Structure 1
C-alpha cells in the first residue's frame, strides 16, 4: 500500500528527532509557564483579597515574576528550535530533491511547464517546511497542554474539567477541520493560478527583449497580472470560511469560562464557600485557567491549514520525483559496459520544421572521434540533440547498445550520453559548484585538473580564492572564450561515456580553438579518456586533426565521409 505522500515527502527533510523534540519541549515550557502563571495569578489575586500577612504572598509574587519572564524566554527558544529544525529540513529537502532529479530522467521533468517545475522545487518545499513549524510542533504541544489543563482543573472540579474538555475539542478539532476544508478548496482553486503566474512571469523575465521586439511583452505581463489576481481571489474566497473557523475558538473560550464560572458559583454556595467544596482561591483558578488553556489550541486552525497545504505540496513533489524515474547515485557513477551509439537511416529536425533530406547512417564505437561540420543553420545541433534522445527522430532510429534510445532506461542513459550545448548556463556561484552541475562528487583537486586541461589553469591560479571564487553574475562575469572553456571542463568531468559537444571552441582565437579541437579528436591527446566517445560540432575543422570520421551537414542534404577531413 502506498504511503501518504506527506510522510513520503517529509522523509526528504531528514528531520532530526532530537531537534524536533527540543522544539516540542520548548513549546510545552512556554505554554506551561502561561498556564501556571494564570493559575498562580488567580490564586494570588484572591488570596490578597483576604489581606493575609505580606510574607505569606512573597513566594507567589516572585513566582509570578519568574513565570512571566520564563514565558518570553521559552517562546524565544521555541522559535529558535522550530525554525532551526525546519530550515535545516528545507535545505536537506532541496538537496535531496535536486539530487534525485539529477539522477533520474531529465526528459520527464522537462515535460512540465517551467513555472510548475519552479513552484514544485520552490514554494512547495517551503510549504513542506511550514508543516514542521506551523503544524507538527504546535499539534504536539497543544495535545500535551490540553491534557495538562483538563487534568489540573479536574483536581478542583470534574464538572468544570468536562466543560473545558468539550470546549477544547471544539477549538482543537472542529475549528481546524473547518480551516483545513477551506484551505483545501482555496489550494485547489489557487494552485493553477500560482503556477500559471510563475510560468508567465518567468517567460517575461527570460525573454523580455524578444517579446518586446515582437510586440508581445505587454500582453505577457498582463496575463501574469491576471493569473496573480486570480490567485488573490482564490485566497480571498478561502478567507470567509476561515473566518468562521477562527471564530470557533473565541466562542469555545467564552463557553468554557462561563460554564466554569456557573459551576464554581454553584459549588461556592451562598455562604462563601463550603469546606471541601470551593474556596475563593479555587474559584479564581477555575475561571482564569481556561483562558490560558486555549492558547495552545488557538494555533491549531493555522496548523490544519499548513498541514493541508503541506499534503497538497507533497503530492506535487512526489509526482515530480515519480516522473523523473527511480533515483540513482549522483555523479561519478562508472558505466560497466562499453557504450555503442548507432544511428540508422536517421533524419532529424525540430517538431513542425522541415527535416533533413538525406538519411544518415552513423556508428559510434566506444572511444571513436567524430567531427560534425557545416554552415550555421544546417542542422548540426539538431543532429546532436537527436543522438542524445532530446529530440525524437523524424525518421530512422537511434540505439544505445542495441536498444532504441526511446526505450533506454532514462537514469542510465543520462550517465552514458551527455549533450553539452553551446549556450549552457553558468550559475552565480563558485567555479567548483559550476562544475559540480555535471558531477556532484567532484573535489577541488579534480576541478583544478579539469580547468587546467582546458587552458584555464593560470587564470584560476590568479583568482583570489581559486576554484572557490564566485562568478558574480554567472556567465556575464567571464569572457566568451573563458565561458566556452568552463563549459568544456564541465563536459570533461561529467560521468557521460559519450560526449556530444556543440561548438566547444566558439569565441576562441583560431590557434587556441584548433589546439582544443585537436585535443578532443585525438585519442592520444590526453584531453579526453581514450575509451570515451567524442562527437564535436564545429564550423572549422583544423588540419592535422585525428578524427575517425567527419560528417558534413548541409542545409539541403547530409553526406558523410570516413577517414578524411575537408
Structure 2
C-alpha cells in the first residue's frame, strides 16, 4: 500500500459510497420483505404508501451510490498507480542503471506495467470491498440479532464462512497459481515480445519457430499452474452459496420456531424480514474471494517491484565532479561485464572531441556491454574509463548524462506521435528540427507522405513501422539529443546491406553533415563497411573470462 501513496480522504470517500450502496440494498431487502408480507395481509393501501415510496427511493439511490463509489474508487486507484509509476521511473532513472538494464525487456515491461496495475486493483477490488463488507456484515448481524439473537449467531457464522473461509481458500488457490505460473508467464512475455518485435529477422535466421514454440510451452505451463489451483478455488466458490443457504434455512427454522411458540413476539412481517434480510447481507461478502485473489496477486507483484527498487538503490559511487572539459573519452585496459558473468578482454580506446570511433565484434562478444560501460551505465570489471581525465564514477551523474548518451538497439518506440517520440531525447524539439533530423536519416519522404506529418500517432508503437524505419527513427532521436558524445548500438541494423553501409559511412565521417563535426560518435557494429573514415576502429573478441 505504501507504493501507491494513497490519500486516506479519497479512500474513506470510496468506502462511504460503497457502504451507502450496499446499505441501500440491505434496507431495500428489509423493507421489501415487510411490504410483501404486509401486502399479503391486505391492509388499507395507505398503510403501504410510505414503504412503496421507500422501495423506489432505495432502488434509485442504490444505483446512484454505486456510480459515486465507482468514481471514487477508480479515482483513488488511478492516482495511486500514477504515483507508483512516477516514483518507480524516478528511482530507476536516478539509481543504479544496471537495475533496469540487467532485466530482459519482457520482465521490465511486466514490472512497470502489469505489476503496477495489480497494485491499483487492490483499491478497486480489495481494499474498498473488504471495508464495505465488514461494515455491512456487522450491521446485518446486529439487526438480525436484535430481532432474534439465535438467528444473529447463525448469520454471523455463515458470514464468517462466506467472508473469511471462502476468501482464504481462494487466496490459497491464487497464491499457488501465481507461485507456479509466475516464472512461466515471465518467460512467455519475453519470448512473445521477442517474436512480435523481431519476427522478420527471426524468420530469416530460421529461429522464429523455436521462439514461438518456447512461448507456447511457457504459456501451457502457466495454464497448467492455473489448473492445479482449481480444487481449492472450487471449494471457495462453493462456500459462499452454502453459507447463504445455511443462513436462510437457519433463520427460517429459528423464526418459525419462535413464531410457533410465541406469536405475540414474532409477527409475520418480522418473520419475512428475518428470512429475506440475510440474502442481501451476503451481497457484500460475494466479492471477498475475488478480493483475496487480488490481494495475493498484488503482494507478489509488490515483491517484484520492491526487488527492482532495491536493485536500483544498490550503492553506486556517485561523484560530484563537474564535466565541463573538452570531452575526451578514454578507456585503459577496460574489461566489461555483468556481475557474475563473463567479461571482455581488455580494451583501450581514446576518443578525442569530434572523433569517429567504430567498435566491431561478433554477436555475444561484449560490444554492447563495453559501450554501456563507456556510458557509465555499468561499472568497469577491470581497467578504467575517464572523461577529460576524470573517472566516470567521480563525475556527477546528471552532468555525465548530459555529456555522454547511450542509445540502445532495442530502445522503446512509444504509442504517441513521431514528434513526441523524438522529444524523448530533448523536450524542446520543434517540428522544423524534427523534420530536418528525419530527412537526414532517410525518413523525409515517408514523413511527408503521412497524413499528419510528424504529428502522426504511432498507435501501436514500433508495430506501426518497419524494422528499418524504427532504426532510422531511433537514430534521429540520437541526433537530436543534446549529448556531445553519442554511443550508438547497431544503428544500421535491420537495413538492407547497401543502406546500412551508406549510413555507417555517414556516421563515421565527420564531414558528412549527418552529425555535427564537433560531436564524438561511437558506433557499435557487427561488420564495418569498406571505405569508412573512422578515426579509430576497436575490435572486440569473444572471451569467457569470469568477471572479477
Cα distance in 1 between the residues matched to 2:470 and 2:185: 38
* Residue matched to 1:287: 275
Task: Pick one of 510, 514, 517 that aligns with 1:521.
Answer: 517
Of residues 524, 537, 541, the one that matches 1:553 is 537
| Cα separation, partners in 2 of 1:392 and 1:162, compared to 1, 3 Å | closer
Identify the range of structure 1 (53-62 vs 299-308) with the bigger mean alpha-carbon deviation: 53-62
Q: Describe the shift of the 1:96–1:374 C-alpha distance in structure 2 as closer, same or farther (beyond 3 A).
A: closer
Structure 2 residue 94 is matched with structure 1 residue 65: no
Matches of 1:17 and 1:295 in 2, distance apart?
Answer: 25
Q: Residue 342 of structure 1 aligns to a residue in which SS?
A: strand
Please identify, of 485-494 and 310-319, the stretch whose mean Cα deviation from structure 2 is larger: 485-494
Determine the structure 2 residue equivalent to 1:417: 404
Instruction: Output one character per residue of 1:10-30: Cα deviation in whole Å (capped at 9) or x when no partner.
Output: 23xxx4545434432332222
Which of 171, 182, 190 is the matching residue for 2:181?
190
The C-alpha deviation readout for 1:373-416, integer Å capped at 9, x for no partner, is 69897999666455225678787432468776689898886565
Cα deviation for residue 136 of structure 1 reads: 0.8
In the other structure, the counterpart of 2:332 is 344
Assess if the C-alpha contact under 8 Å between 2:18 and 2:66 holds in 1: yes
Q: TM-score, normalised by structure 1?
A: 0.75
Over 3 Å counting, the alpha-carbon distance change for 1:354 and 1:133 in structure 2 is: closer
In structure 2, relative to structure 1, the CA distance for the partners of 1:423 and 1:305 (3 Å cut) is closer
CA distance in structure 2 between the partners assigned to 1:353 and 1:317 by the alignment: 28
Q: What is the aligned partner in structure 1 of residue 497 from structure 2? A: none
| Length-normalised TM-score, structure 2 | 0.77
Equivalent in 287, 295, 317 of residue 299 of structure 1: 287
* Residue number among 144, 147, 161 corresponding to 1:156 in the alignment: 147
The equivalent of 2:89 in structure 1 is 98
Say which of 244, 257, 263 aligns to 2:248. Answer: 257
What is the rounded CA distance, in whole Å, between the counterparts of 1:467 and 1:407 in structure 2?
A: 40
Distance of aligned partners of 1:30 and 1:385 in 2 relative to their CA distance in 1, 3 Å threshold: closer
Cα-to-partner distance string for 1:93-121 (whole Å, 9 max, x where unaligned): 44443343233333222322333223222
CA offsets per residue over residues 441-460 of structure 1, 9 Å max, x none?
A: x24xx545854885869999
Does the aligned pair in 1 maintain the 2:17–2:69 contact within 8 Å?
A: yes
2:487 aligned residue (500, 519, 528): 500
> Which of 435, 443, 450 lines up with 2:422 in the alignment?
435
What does residue 213 of structure 2 align with?
A: 222
The number of aligned residues is 513
Alpha-carbon distance between aligned partners in 2 of 1:422 and 1:201, rounded to the nearest angstrom? 18
- Give the conservation status (yes or no) of the 8 Å contact 1:335–1:416: no
Return the offset for 1:438: 3.4
CA contact (8 A) 2:438 2:476 kept: no
- In 2, the alpha carbon distance for the partners of 1:94 and 1:65 equals 44
Question: Against the structure 1 CA distance between its residues 401 and 174, is the aligned structure 2 distance closer, same or farther, given a 3 Å change threshold?
Answer: farther
Ranges in structure 1 where 5+ consecutive residues have no aligned partner: 1-6, 329-333, 523-527, 529-533, 543-549, 558-566
1:165 maps to 156
1:9 counterpart SS class: coil
Post-superposition offset of 1:63: 2.0
Superimposed CA distance per residue, residues 322-376 of structure 1 (whole angstroms, 9 cap, x where no aligned partner): 2223799xxxxx98444774312347899989958xx635376xxx332226989
* C-alpha separation in 2, matches of 1:312 and 1:555: 44
Which shifted more, 470-479 or 426-435?
A: 470-479
Alpha carbon RMSD of aligned pairs, Å? 4.4
**Contact residue 323 and residue 395 of structure 2 kept, 8 A:** no
Q: 1:128 aligns with which of 107, 119, 122?
A: 119
